[in-house]
Amino acid sequence: LNATRAAVEEGIVAGGGVALLRASANIKATGVNADQAAGINIVRRALQAPARQIAANAGAEASIVAGKILENKGATFGYNAQTGEYGDMIAMGIVDPVKVVRTALQDAASVAGLLVTTEAMIAEAPKKESAGGGGMPGGMGGGMGGMGGMDF
The string of pLDDT tens digits covering residues 50-97 is: 999 999 999 999 999 999 999 999 999 999 999 999 999 999 999 999
- For residue 137, which amino acid is it? P
Task: Answer for the pair 66, 55: CB distance below 8 angstroms, yes or no.
Answer: yes
Domains and CATH numbers, the chain: 2-117 (1.10.560.10)
Nearest to 86 by CA among 114, 55, 49: 55
Alpha carbons within 13 angstroms on the beta-carbon side of residue 137 total 4
Spatial separation of the C-alpha atoms in residues 65 and 112, rounded to whole Å: 27
pTM over 0.85: no
Predicted pLDDT at 152: 46
Predicted pLDDT at 148: 53
Spatial separation of the C-alpha atoms in residues 22 and 24, rounded to whole Å: 5
The answer on pLDDT for 35 being more than 90 is: no
Predicted pLDDT at 44: 92
Banded pLDDT at 137 (limits 50, 70, 90): low
CA distances 106 to 43, 83, 99, 121, Å, are 12, 31, 10, 21
The answer on pLDDT for 20 being more than 60 is: yes
Question: Residue 40: which residues within 8 A CB-CB, separation 6 or more?
Answer: 27, 29, 30, 31
The answer on pLDDT for 110 being more than 60 is: yes
Nearest to 39 by CA among 120, 121, 113: 113
| Cβ count near 28 (within 10 Å) | 6
The answer on pLDDT for 136 being more than 90 is: no
16: left (phi over 0), alpha (psi -120 to 50) or beta: left
Question: Residue 65: which residues within 8 A CB-CB, separation 6 or more?
Answer: 51, 52, 55, 79
